[in-house]
Structure 1
Amino acid sequence: MIKNIHIGNYALIDKTNIGLEKGFTIITGETGAGKSILLGAIGLTLGQRADVAAIMDKNRKCVVEITYDVVGYDLQPWFADNDLDYDDEVVVRRELTADGKSRAFINDTPVNNKLLKEFGSFLIDVHSQHQSLLIGQPEYQLEILDAFCGNQALLKDYRVKYTRRQGLLSELTSLKQRAKEAEQEEDYLKFQFNQLDEARLREGEQQELEEELAVLNNAENIKSAFSESTYVLTESDNPVIQALKGVKNRMATLEGIVKEATDYEQRLSSVILELEDIADESERMAERVEYNPARVDVINERLNVMYDLLHKHRLEKVEELIALKDELGKKLKGIQSFAEQIEILEKQIKSVETEMDSLAGKLHKARVASEEKLREEMRGLLVSMGIKHAVFRVMITPLDHFTATGKDDVSFLFSANKNQEPGELVKVASGGEISRLMLSLKYILSRTKQLPVIIFDEIDTGVSGEIAHRMAEMMKEMARRMQVISISHLPQIAAAGDHHFKVYKEDDQVGTISRIRRLTDEERVAEIAGMISGSVVSDAALENARLLLGQF
């Protein structure tokens, strides 16, 4: 239930604190006094759109704060799921600044509008003129029927499956689109892959071939260089190796005379051996290196294949071409696996739909089973509120496709006149009849739907007299199960309240402001008498007001 409402700097309300209690609370006041402003402020804490035009003083922020007592409503799991601190007393605050910035808090923790709306849906049902229009919508009618049936648990399970199915369907659509695009690209990818695969590329091959080609193209120079090396070292008129051998022998004659001679001889021996190896290898290299035009052609042809592929794919190394081929292979494999993935998804969708069919069937069965009971209860209430020939029906039409609420289409039909065929509510019901229909539905649901607070904004529109008295009795009874707040212009309903607040305007130095205060017993008599007789309150009106108050 609501314990307190604080409003600051909102519309015509400068600052007000309203302490509320259990039971039936009435709010009255002249047209334009600010009753709708109060509802607008409450709406801010329920996540409704914030309008900077509603700020009275643009130099200060607008603050609306509602304190709730939530004992017994099992909200601890919701607080835990959303990482919020739970307390039996919950404070919801909304702040709005003139530059359009809006902030919301639950127990001083910042929250977004989605959480604000979700939390509000657990606590408050605000019946306004807008909601009277909702009654004509099939979705809202189905929501009412399910609440009456107690289908909440079944609907929760079904919606989990429905959301899962929607996700799978979206994934399947995306996968099929990708498969279609891939299929269009497959031939080109295959051509690229096959071209690279047929090239039989090998890591390091390009460098090896380029080195070999360099040798073949310089075969004469290489042969000449190695031949000259062999000639100088072993075959010239004064061969280097032969000369060094002579020096070595001279050093041998100095052994025992010059102590370094042995070391020089050994070092010369090593040099001579190394030069002999060089001479032998140079001779072999000179013999081996031959210009081979056929091999040159083969290498050039192979390198051209590589260069063409590198140029085509704008790459620099054969290793990059090999990596590209691997990537293309993976893409082709992925394309070929699309069909398998699609088949898996379709099986998953079919499995979820089987579960949804079962749940939808249970929902349909529960709706059909409750239809007659709702019809009879509604008729009884409508007759008691003066529609003696009322006919109320619930038409449940099975559908061949899934919706967010199952496979049913629900429509409420109504007739107020004898021998009149029931028709759609919005087409056949007057404003006063819709008000009575809505109150009847809320009255019935208050017995099945655990909701701490319900606010009626002029639900008595279009009714008067004994009918208004009956509506007051119904709201009074609802107030035994929940906190009921009613904004009303009718004395019969105002007299039924346990607590009575009046909204009024007054002028100060700056301008006109709205105020709200709780009425004493005597003030209630005067207020209700004014509602009966108008601006001039007669003794008869005062007596009638006391009589009305005595009836409740």
Structure 2
Amino acid sequence: MIRHIHIVNYALIDKTDLELEKGFTIITGETGAGKSILLGAIGLTLGQRADASAIMDKDKKCIVEITYDVAGYHLRQWFEDNDLDYDDEVVVRRELNADGKSRSFINDTPVNNKVLKEFGSFLIDVHSQHQSLLIGQPEYQLEILDAFCGNQSLLKEYRMKYASRQSLLSELEQVKRQAREAEQEEDYLKFQFNQLDEANLREGEQQELEDELAVLNHAETIKSVFSEATYALTESDAPVIQTLKGIRNRIAALDEVVKEATDYGQRLHSVIVELEDIADEAERVAERVEYNPGRVDVINDRLGVMYDLLHKHKVERTEDLIALKDTLRERLKGIQSFSTRVEELDTRIAALEAEMEVLARKIHAARVDSEGKLREEMQGLLVGLGIKHASFKVGIVPVEHFTPTGKDEVTFLFSANKNQEPGELSKVASGGEISRLMLSLKYILSRTKQLPVIIFDEIDTGVSGEIAHRMAAMMKEMAARMQVISISHLPQIAAAGDSHFKVYKEDDHAGTISRIRRLTEEERVTEIAGMISGSVVSEAALENARLLREQF
């Protein structure tokens, strides 16, 4: 419930503080006195749009602060989930600057507008002219029916699965789109892969072939050079090796005379051995190297394949082509895996939908089971509120597709006239009838929906007499279960309140400002009498006001 309201520098309110109590609180005042301003200020703390034009003094910031008692409403977990300090007394503050920027706080911790709205939804139901229009919307009607039949836990579970299904459907569409795009290039990728696969490339092959081709293309020169080397070393008229052997032998004869002779002889021996090896190898090379036109053609053809692929794929080495082939293989696997992924997602979606179907049937059954009870209660209340031939029905039509709230379409049907078939509420109900319909629904829901505060903004528009008295009694009864605040022009409703505040205007040196104050019992009688008789309060009006107060 609301304990305290503190407003500074908002519209025509310079500063006001209201201490509220449990039960039924009445707010009255002449048209234009500032009752709607009070609602607008409260709306700021509920996350409604902040309008800088509502600031009275542009040199100061606007502050609206509401203190709630939330003991017993099981909000501790919500506070923990949002990293907020919990206390049974919660202070919500909204600050607005002239530049349009605003800040919000819960227990002095800054919060964003989403958190502010969510917190407000747990605490206050503001019934205004705008909400009267909501009653004609199927979504709102469905929300009312579900609150009445206690579907909250089933709907919470269903909505979690619905959200998961929507996420999977989005992912499935993305995978299918990627698959379509991949399929368009699959043939080309296969062609590229097959071409590389058929080439059967291996690392180092290109260099090996280029080296072999170079040898084959110079075979005659190679053979000639190595043959000449062998001839000069071993077979000429003065073979180099034989000549060096003679020199070595002659130096060896000087071992006893020249001390360096032994060293020279060993070194010449090493040279002779090395030259003999060179001669042997040169002879083998000369014998091995033969020009082979057929082999040259084979190598050129193989290199031609490699060069074409290198040019086509704009790379420099066959190793790059091998890496490309591996990449293409993985991309093709990825394309083929799309179908597997689609099947997996289809399976998961089907499993979720099976679970959702079970929940949707339970939700539907609860709605159907409760429809008759809601119909009977609504018709009884509406008759009591002066709609003698009221007929109220809830149309529940199953649909094939899943919606965020199950598989039903719900429509409230209403008729105020005898023997008239009920029609869509938004099309057949007058303004006064909609007000009575809304009050009846709020009255019923107040028994099933745990909400600390409900504010009625002139829900009594268009009614009077005994009907107004009955409305007052209903709000009084609701106030036994929750804090009820009613902005009203009717004396019958004003008389039913446990406390009564009056909004009025007064002028000071700065201009016109709105004031609000709590009335004493005597002042209440006078205020109610004025609502009965107008500006001139007669003794008869005062007596009527006292009688009205005694009835409550």
Scaled by the length of structure 1, what TM-score is found?
Answer: 0.92
Structure 2 match to 1:430: 430
User: Equivalent residues in 2 for 1:411-426 (5 A)?
Assistant: 411-426=411-426
Structure 2 match to 1:483: 483
Q: What amino acid does structure 2 have at the position aligned with 1:178?
A: Q
User: Equivalent residues in 2 for 1:124-143 (5 A)?
Assistant: 124-143=124-143
Q: What amino acid does structure 1 have at the position aligned with 2:411?
A: S
Q: Quick one: structure 1 residues 287 and 28, their matched pair in 2 at CA, closer, same or farther if it must change by over 3 Å?
A: farther
Further displaced range: 278-287 or 445-454: 278-287
Q: What is the CA deviation profile of residues 55-102 of structure 1, one whole-angstrom value per residue up to 9, with x for unaligned ones?
A: 334444433332222111111222222333322222223333344433
CA distance in 1, matches of 2:102, 2:316: 57
RMSD: 2.6
CA distance in 2, matches of 1:74, 1:495: 34
Structure 2 match to 1:75: 75
Q: Quick one: structure 1 residues 376 and 241, their matched pair in 2 at CA, closer, same or farther if it must change by over 3 Å?
A: same
CA distance in 1, matches of 2:49, 2:540: 46
CA distance in 2, matches of 1:321, 1:37: 76
Structure 1 match to 2:545: 545
Q: What is the CA deviation profile of residues 171-219 of structure 1, one whole-angstrom value per residue up to 9, with x for unaligned ones?
A: 2222333333333322222212211211112122222223333333444
- Post-superposition offset of 1:293: 3.3
Structure 1 match to 2:66: 66
Q: What amino acid does structure 2 have at the position aligned with 1:525?
A: V
CA distance in 2, matches of 1:94, 1:118: 15
Q: Quick one: structure 1 residues 378 and 225, their matched pair in 2 at CA, closer, same or farther if it must change by over 3 Å?
A: same
User: Equivalent residues in 2 for 1:298-317 (5 A)?
Assistant: 298-317=298-317
Structure 2 match to 1:105: 105
Q: What is the CA deviation profile of residues 520-539 of structure 1, one whole-angstrom value per residue up to 9, with x for unaligned ones?
A: 33332333233223333333
Structure 2 match to 1:525: 525
Structure 2 residues not aligned, in runs of 5+ = none
- Post-superposition offset of 1:160: 1.7
Q: Quick one: structure 1 residues 96 and 299, their matched pair in 2 at CA, closer, same or farther if it must change by over 3 Å?
A: farther
Identical aligned residues as a percent = 81
Q: Quick one: structure 1 residues 303 and 536, their matched pair in 2 at CA, closer, same or farther if it must change by over 3 Å?
A: farther
- Post-superposition offset of 1:254: 5.7
Structure 1 match to 2:410: 410
How many residue pairs match? The answer is: 552
- 1:180 match: secondary structure: helix
CA distance in 2, matches of 1:60, 1:258: 118
- Post-superposition offset of 1:449: 0.5
- 2:372 match: secondary structure: helix
Q: Quick one: structure 1 residues 361 and 237, their matched pair in 2 at CA, closer, same or farther if it must change by over 3 Å?
A: same
Q: Quick one: structure 1 residues 387 and 312, their matched pair in 2 at CA, closer, same or farther if it must change by over 3 Å?
A: same
Structure 1 match to 2:378: 378
Q: What is the CA deviation profile of residues 137-180 of structure 1, one whole-angstrom value per residue up to 9, with x for unaligned ones?
A: 11111111111111111111111222222222222222333333
Q: Quick one: structure 1 residues 241 and 492, their matched pair in 2 at CA, closer, same or farther if it must change by over 3 Å?
A: farther
- Post-superposition offset of 1:448: 0.4
Structure 1 match to 2:118: 118
Structure 2 match to 1:327: 327
Q: Quick one: structure 1 residues 278 and 78, their matched pair in 2 at CA, closer, same or farther if it must change by over 3 Å?
A: farther
Q: Quick one: structure 1 residues 403 and 239, their matched pair in 2 at CA, closer, same or farther if it must change by over 3 Å?
A: same
Q: What amino acid does structure 1 have at the position aligned with 2:13?
A: I
Q: What amino acid does structure 2 have at the position aligned with 1:460?
A: D
Q: Quick one: structure 1 residues 96 and 226, their matched pair in 2 at CA, closer, same or farther if it must change by over 3 Å?
A: farther
Q: Quick one: structure 1 residues 262 and 357, their matched pair in 2 at CA, closer, same or farther if it must change by over 3 Å?
A: same
- 2:67 match: secondary structure: strand
Structure 1 residues not aligned, in runs of 5+ = none
- Post-superposition offset of 1:413: 1.3
Structure 1 match to 2:467: 467
Further displaced range: 257-266 or 480-489: 257-266
Structure 2 match to 1:500: 500
Further displaced range: 193-202 or 320-329: 320-329
Further displaced range: 161-170 or 474-483: 161-170
Structure 2 match to 1:18: 18
Structure 2 match to 1:447: 447
CA distance in 1, matches of 2:512, 2:232: 120
- 1:21 match: secondary structure: coil
Q: What is the CA deviation profile of residues 488-547 of structure 1, one whole-angstrom value per residue up to 9, with x for unaligned ones?
A: 122221222222222233344444333333233333233323322333333333333333
- 1:144 match: secondary structure: helix
- Post-superposition offset of 1:444: 0.5
CA distance in 1, matches of 2:236, 2:306: 46
- 1:379 match: secondary structure: helix
Q: What is the CA deviation profile of residues 23-43 of structure 1, one whole-angstrom value per residue up to 9, with x for unaligned ones?
A: 112222222222222222222
CA distance in 2, matches of 1:56, 1:261: 121
Q: What amino acid does structure 2 have at the position aligned with 1:527?
A: E
Q: What amino acid does structure 2 have at the position aligned with 1:506?
A: E
Q: Quick one: structure 1 residues 229 and 66, their matched pair in 2 at CA, closer, same or farther if it must change by over 3 Å?
A: farther
CA distance in 2, matches of 1:16, 1:254: 132
CA distance in 1, matches of 2:24, 2:327: 73
CA distance in 2, matches of 1:230, 1:530: 139
- Post-superposition offset of 1:133: 0.6
Q: What amino acid does structure 2 have at the position aligned with 1:334?
A: G
Structure 1 match to 2:35: 35
